[in-house]
Structure 1
Amino acid sequence: MKDVTKIKTETIKNLARRKNYLLNQYQDITADVPEQVTAELQLIELMLTEANVNDDTYQKRPATINIRNTRDEEWYFQQMKHWIKSHPQATSGKLGRSFIYKFTLHFFVENIVLNSQNRDLGLSELENRISQLSKNNDSRQINAQNKNIEASLGFMMSMLYQLVGHMPESVDNKKIDYKLNPLTEIEIMTAGTDTDLNDNAEFNLAFQAFKEVRKRDKQQLKKLHQSKGKLYDD
């Protein structure tokens, strides 16, 4: 677990900065300050006051906390215990029930409660934000693939344009006459051209056939590299 003193010190600094920011934002306002801002300032003041738990408050709290155990609670606890066994550095190898509960509380406070980005989130919004974390890797992979596709498409378009510009129209007595590049703006606007929205366009039919062949080759490649020969859909 993290050093509590460092956590509290950093929290106090963040609260103080937030308090000063709000006070500076509304210092020249003579009308009513928004209730949300007033409530936040009051909460910040309370949290700053409670930064160091005084003896009176501490003595009034029980030395131990009893949690009624049920089958459902035991299931939750076992899941947490399995995770800690896989990541022993999280609790320095300690697997006691009270220590695991303490670690869970500390982790939630340090990474959820004290995270300023979660300040105004409701429970459902917070759950959604956490669930999105698991999708980050997939998003990065998709972005990388999209960049690769974009680069490949740009390369092919450039090469195709150069190729079409050198297509001979006729060869007569060893003299090669080149026709006007049909990919120029003037030619396309004047004569028109097939697009991918035309299902009967020859290039579209060829492209669809190419995708089917590529899909087949990709599946064969996956099967070759999978240790168990199991195929996964994209």
Structure 2
Amino acid sequence: MPGPRDYTQGTKSALAHLSGGLCYYPGCPEPVLREDEGKYYIIGFISHIRAAYPNGPRFDKTMNDDDRRDIKNLIFLCEPHHLRIDKERPQDYSVETLHRWKEQREASPAEALKRLREVTPSGLKQIVAEGLKARDDKLISALTRLEKTDRGAAMALRSVIDELAEVYSKGRRALDPDLIETLDRASRRLSRWDPVHFSGLESAADKLSRILDSGMVDDLLRASRRFPER
């Protein structure tokens, strides 16, 4: 008779698909699958939400072995999180917590897309702003606590955060100012055009593309650059 760890190939394949190939611990980027020469291998741990055996964490004596090996009771974990959740600190991780992780990871893509579509642009902007503020608040709080025990480490972290902020700021300024000015001038000129002109412009461009070869187009471009800007 199959035991609580005798998973069918169908159960393993379904769990691998639903996991997205990653550990179920929220935010963990560790893969639980590895591809080699076109074949995929499980390198993570198939863990029970309610333990397989009586001495295991979160064991439920009302379940039978079929229930214990059922996909509803299984999650994938990388080795560090498997050790933490099932060996080192099982008391910190309840059945409810692990079920919530499973539901979040295995949420229907259609349902996730539906929830995303319900977010308006202004609402999304607010969500991002609130998320950034919450992140900053957590960083400041953590650094304040760290300063009480290790001032040197806190200062080093503050320095790293400042450097990251500077890199981000430089990234935002990466666009060439001359390019921005050119685009601005072009947009202002186009804004003064009557919309009916654009259809004529499109028609002329289409006709030119049919009657001119690439060399003639290049000649026209070079000639246009000789005229002074008005």
Structure 1 length-normalised TM: 0.22
Larger Rg: 1
Q: Which has the higher contact order (CA 8 A, sep 6+)?
A: 2
